[in-house]
Amino acid sequence: MIRVFHRTSMVFLSVIALLAMTVGIASAHAKIKSSEPAADSTVASAPTQVKVVFDNHDPLDISGSSLVVTDESGAVVDLGDTALDKNDADRLTLVVSLKSGLANGTYTVKWTALSQGDGSVAEGSFKFTVDAAAAVTPAPAAEAPTQLPRTGAGDSLPMMALFSGVVLIGAGLLIRSRLARVN
């Protein structure tokens, strides 16, 4: 009886331990530490690459790791050359090149990170926005002329007319007095 109980409790404890380990490992799988462009950021010029630095228990295995960047229509805008950043000795940084001259808009970076240690795969996504100032300026500038004269001229025209009238009357009086003097 004691032996059976012992065995059962060992199995029970093993299951609990396994569950705890699984949960522990799951929460420690690769996650983003930082990125360029940063998640949810807006950049003023089109980036030429996306770099993602991961926080993970082991180096990343490039065979199962990738960055895929898509535009708002879902079209892929990266060059499919995801690689480990050679400058990161920890092998926790992925880099992918982007097509040149990306248009203004919001882009999605979908990442997949395969861990060398336990072969676990983590994935997720984040967005960044390209908003070049030059492409934004013309819109508000085009609206301005249609509104300015209406309100501005409406107030200043009567004043201008009044001022012109005063000047004309003044000039007329001056000319009349001069003519009167001559005669």
Q: Would you say 137 and 108 are in contact if contact means Cβ atoms under 8 Å apart?
A: no
Stated length of the chain: 183
| Min CB(108)–Cu ion separation in Å | 24
Binding of residue 123 to Cu ion (CB under 5 A): no
| DSSP bridge pairs for 90 | none
**Spatial CB neighbours of 68, under 8 Å, sequence gap ≥ 6:** 76, 78, 96, 109, 110, 111
CB of 46 or CB of 53, closer to Cu ion: 53
Applying CB under 5 A, among 60, 113, 115, 130 the residue interacting with Cu ion is 115
- Shortest CB 83 distance to Cu ion, Å: 21
Judged by CB under 5 A, the chain residues 3 through 22 that form the site for Cu ion are: none
Nearer to Cu ion, 29 or 99 (CB): 29
- Alpha-carbon span 105 to 102, nearest angstrom: 8
Nearest distance from C-beta of residue 135 to Cu ion, angstroms: 42
Q: Which of residues 20-59 bind Cu ion (CB under 5 A)?
A: 29
**Contact status: 118 vs Cu ion (CB under 5 A):** yes
82 binds Cu ion (CB under 5 A): no
CB of 133 to Cu ion, least distance (A): 42
**Residue number with CB closer to Cu ion (6 or 33):** 33
Q: Print burial letters for 99-124: b (CB count within 10 Å at least 16), e (below 16).
A: eeebeeeebebebbbbbbeeebebee
Distance, in Å, from the CA atom of 13 to the CA atom of 86, rounded to the nearest integer, reads 44
Instruction: List the one residue out of 100, 129, 109 whose CA is nearest residue 53.
Output: 109
Closer of 121 and 132 to Cu ion (Cβ)? 121
Which of 178, 43, 181 is CA-nearest to residue 109?
A: 43
Examine residue 120 and tell whether it contacts Cu ion (CB under 5 A): yes
Where does this chain bind Cu ion (CB under 5 A)? 29, 115, 118, 120
